Amino acid sequence: MRNPITRVKKIAALIMCLLLVAAAAGCNGDGTTPPVEGGTPAQEAPAGGTVTLSGVEFSTDPVTLTAYIDWPHSGEGYGWGQDMVSQWITETVGVTIDATHATTATGEELNLMLASGEKLPDLIVTNGFGTIVNNLIRQGYVLPLDEVAKEYFPAFLDLLPGGLYEVFQEDDGHLYRTADWFADSERILELVNSREDKAISGGDQTLCLNKKYYEQMGSPEINTLDDLRQYLLDCREKFPEVTSPFMPMRLMWDQATDTINFIYRCYGGQSWLWDDGSNTLQLCLRDPRYKEAMRFLNTLYQDGSLTDTTLGMSTEDQWTALETANLFAYVGQDWEWFSKIVGGSELSGPVLPVLAPMAEGVSRDDLKLRYNDIANLGGNTAVFISKDSENVARAIEYLAFEYSDEAALNNRFGLEGVAFEYVEDGGVRWMQSLLDYQNEFGWSEMSKKYGPNNQTHSWFTTGYSMAMESPTGIYPVKLYNANLVAPYLKNERLFDLSKTIKDDDVRMKYDQFMQLTGEAQIAIITADDDAEFEAEFANFVSQAEALDIKSLEDYYTANYIKWQGRGFTAE
């Protein structure tokens, strides 16, 4: 008789082997994304034809370009040909994008793809700044776009927004990447002039007041920071049930709506990089006005108008606080509130944007507010043509197409007559049917159907398309806000210097410094008394010095001078 235990052992061994084989088989996956079902197949463009967009002729021959999009989860529920804009692209220039999207974190899979020597797709869409960009360029994984353009599609260089080449040109003289949210300053100026007193952006930050409490307080004038402080104290006394009296929307230098930077500007400061007048850039922590801005916020904290709870709020918590109007004032954009309220308008809305309250002795003539969403965020996303591309000619043509005004507007707003329409001032605005759809099903579903800002193709929103948006298009109150801040708006490019750091050690220093800043600012603002404030600020400066920020400043200055040498200014 056979031993039953032996039989069990043999069965167990067999199972283990099967598991091993199964595991090995799993390693052989090709990693392709399953095709997304649904959607209407786009009508193919006629072969051998051409189409003219922005004065440039494009081929209409059908072609499929592969792309890797480095934004995790950006592909979930999206697919080429499902939305109207991607259908329009295929119908117009014959291009279909076969995209693979990141699934974990930006950079992770792409780095592993490079390390493993995997064949790269035609196009790579990733973070516009950081080590990954440097690695792609320096290690020869991507092609110089200017060279490729000269060989296959010279019009690409004509369609590039002015200044982009000068800002993102590498030391070898070539341009390897596109940049999103980039504006041609002269073209923006033309638009500004054509609209007389209307600003081109409705998204500029300012001080926003809760209209309900403001009216109950007798609508006092808030012209200075002291006025603001007193207003908050009075409000708290009258309405003690409000738990988030003053809410800063962001507290990080490189964020567009950083409250500290806004208050710093109320003291006459500007960007977090500071030209001391001798063409040398310094970080604003060396500027006494920056310290004063921090001190003001600390005063609000010591008053109890700025609380630990408010400072620690997640974005979701901030939204809830806005929705429930559980605050007196915040620094940010008025749409941040309006966008939470369906059908909100200037008259019925709860928010009242007012102009920046100034520090004592500082005039509003010294106020410099920046264009948040037009010109100074350029380069967050970069698109590259990989060295492995088998469709280089069509790839560069497609990038040129994306920079055409037609494609830029469609990528940003959807199709004319369906998703957006032109208005009297020459700008564009989304149509009511689209807004109704968005209100009913949410932004994401709207994007999947109509195509605006759809990650399958809207890779580089241009500054031009942003500027074309009529401030009155979506939220009526935006016009009010825009006109309010328009005289003080300033086009700044100093932020872009961080995006052109090519030295990995400097890049690391920058990342570490930003991390340090994020933590130190909170510690300084939440100091319990003046002595602690001074100690925390001194600690911040000393830790920053220990990081050798001087080398960071030197690097910025060198790049700044390099820009100037290329005929480009920072403003």
Partner 1 sequence: MKKEKKANKFNLKENLKYAVVRQWDLQLMVLPAIIVLIIFAYGPMPGIIIAFKDYTFNKGIFGSDWVGLKHFRSILTDIFVHRSLFNSVGLSLFRMALLFPAPIILALLFNEVRSSKLRRFFQTVSYYPYFVSWAVVCAVVPIWTSTQTGWVNAFLQTIGLIKEPISFLSEANMFWGITLMLELWKGIGFSAIIYIAAISGIDQEQYEAAIIDGASRFQRIRLITIPSIAGTISLLFILQISGIIGGNFDVSYMLGNPSNASRSMILQSYTYDVGLLDGRFSYAAAVGLLTSITGMILLLGGNFIVKRLTKHSGLF
Interface with partner 1 by CB under 8 A: which residues? 6, 9-10, 12-14, 16-17, 19-20, 23, 105-108, 111-112, 114-115, 117, 130-132, 135, 138-141, 243, 252, 307-309, 311-314, 316-317, 320-321, 324, 326, 504, 508, 511-512, 515-516, 518-519, 522, 543, 546-547
Q: In the complex with partner 1, which residue's Cβ is closer, 13 or 47?
A: 13
Write down the least CB distance from residue 234 to partner 1, Å.
20
Q: In the complex with partner 1, which residue's Cβ is closer, 538 or 561?
A: 538
Residue 237 to residues 86, 145, 304, 327, 330, Cα–Cα distance (Å) = 55, 61, 11, 13, 18
The single-letter DSSP state of residue 119 is: P
Q: How far is CA 269 from the centre of its chain?
A: 23
Q: In the complex with partner 1, which residue's Cβ is closer, 53 or 252?
A: 252
| Strand 123-127 versus strand 63-69 pairing type | parallel
Write down the least CB distance from residue 250 to partner 1, Å.
11
Q: In the complex with partner 1, which residue's Cβ is closer, 29 or 35?
A: 29
- Single-letter amino acid, residue 211: K
Q: In the complex with partner 1, which residue's Cβ is closer, 215 or 323?
A: 323
412 HSE (CA, 13 A, CB side) = 28
* CA–CA separation, 397 and 181 (whole Å): 20
Q: In the complex with partner 1, which residue's Cβ is closer, 346 or 536?
A: 536
Q: In the complex with partner 1, which residue's Cβ is closer, 14 or 538?
A: 14
* CA–CA separation, 79 and 238 (whole Å): 53
Contacts of 452 (CB under 8 A, 6+ apart): 85, 411, 412, 413, 414, 419, 430, 434, 446, 458
* CA–CA separation, 406 and 415 (whole Å): 9
Write down the least CB distance from residue 562 to partner 1, Å.
24
Write down the least CB distance from residue 449 to partner 1, Å.
29
Write down the least CB distance from residue 110 to partner 1, Å.
8
Write down the least CB distance from residue 369 to partner 1, Å.
25
* CA–CA separation, 518 and 110 (whole Å): 28
The single-letter DSSP state of residue 305 is: S
Q: In the complex with partner 1, which residue's Cβ is closer, 23 or 347?
A: 23
* CA–CA separation, 217 and 52 (whole Å): 59
Write down the least CB distance from residue 146 to partner 1, Å.
22
Write down the least CB distance from residue 107 to partner 1, Å.
5
CB 345 within 8 A of CB 477: yes
Residue 131 to residues 13, 273, 446, 534, Cα–Cα distance (Å) = 47, 21, 34, 35
Task: Give the pair of three-digit tokens for residue 339.
Answer: 């966008």
